[in-house]
Chains A and B, each alone.
Chain A
């Protein structure tokens, strides 16, 4: 609330007025003609004033005016023909974006005035005690206070996001890293047991492979975190890129990493070459999707079919990639959320690693789309079909 210190009020007002180099457009929503006249006179009498006053007589026309014009502040009477009391301020805040509001009340409505400030008004003025200095000061201070509040809000949002991200990384280290370490320690101890008891020596190879894969998984996790943070902090430039080479390189890397698993990967393509508008992370997309298909697969033979076609969606040309696998599949309830790990805390996102969140962010960054369907319609347990649309180079 504005201090009612009238002495020196003009000097303080002059100080804050230096921050404004333009006209302040104020909307007065008031139905009492006497009060309107009074406020108009006060504004007119202000020396060197930069305040322009618009008037509307009821809440509905006030809101309509606000939606069509740039207004810096609202002077709001709480007793209007179409709205009364705190409902007036609530309805106004609901209908227009947040903005500085000064509530005008009668002498007996102090409680109402304070409640208005709690609801989001910057200040209140009691009509019976109003004078030019107070009005001018309340207007300038409310706008300044509003600006500060907005800055504070933005900064709070920024810190909240940073907090969520820190929490997300903590989650990755407690859950994902612990699992990787657990796998490594179990693998090493199993090798020791085989060695001590001199039995099942032939199995040592497959266990050491598992250990190597877990180490690779840890390295991928670190690399994905680095890339995710890079994508969150800047947008990457997309340029024409041929798609088949990074795809084939990804398949080669995948087979190398999981060489102890039997894999049957087929590419079914309409053309020999496809050019897409992509950032430098195209191969990361393929590697993450393919790794996912292998990690979440219990079959002795992993089957992946990659189909590549041209597709027009809403008059835009895309390259459509479908990755059909025979893995454990994704339940209906998780189909939309598996790409969102790190965006919100949700148990359904656990276990999918970080890969799909990164893939989704990369695709979004290059104006593409990604979603997942069942390989066999209606039966998720038969495997998944990850579908990608990437803008084609025309």
Chain B
């Protein structure tokens, strides 16, 4: 079963993402700011298959958290989620695998996650 680390400071959104992704059969972890996400990523022995990362968060924003996570493990698959299209290029340039603009539909998120998971399975086979 694939695991997803959800990083979102809005607790009602974090909760809804969790219910939604668990409903689709994923195992989830939640972090409500960038710093907590980095610490959680460090502490997990089994690294999550996908990280769903919000951008504007207190303490540490999504770009900084993504940079730190990618510095620990460059193969980490981060899906960046933000209402600001202006951060898309920045996110992609640091190595984030996909940018999704808020608000997005459930189907789009799930199909993006599945595509990334399939791709990484292929690359593992190769």
Give the B-binding residues of A (Cβ under 8 A): 174-175, 178-179, 181-183, 185-187, 189-190, 193, 200, 203, 207, 210, 213-214, 217, 295-298, 328, 331, 333-334, 347-352
Contacts and interface: CB of A to CB of B under 8 A. Distances in A.
A174 B84 contact: yes
Interface of A: prevailing SS: helix
Given A179-B102, A351-B33, 11 more contacts: A175-B83, A175-B84, A181-B102, A182-B103, A185-B104, A186-B13, A200-B23, A295-B12, A333-B59, A348-B59, A350-B57
Contact of A182 (B9, B11, B13): B13
Interface string B34-59: 00000000000000000000001111
Interface of B: 9-13, 15-17, 19-20, 23, 32-33, 56-59, 61, 83-84, 102-107
Interface of B: prevailing SS: loop
24 contacts: A174-B83, A178-B102, A179-B13, A179-B83, A179-B102, A181-B102, A185-B103, A189-B105, A190-B16, A193-B23, A200-B23, A203-B19, A207-B19, A210-B15, A210-B16, A297-B11, A298-B11, A298-B32, A331-B59, A334-B59, A351-B9, A351-B33, A351-B56, A351-B58
B10 A351 contact: yes
Identify the interface centre among B10, B17, B23, B104: most chain A CB within 10 Å of its CB: B10
A183 B20 contact: no
A166 B19 CA distance: 36
A347 B58 contact: yes
B11 A175 contact: no
Nearest to B104: A182
Contacts of A347: 56-58, 61
Given A178-B83, A179-B10, A190-B23, A351 B57 contact: yes
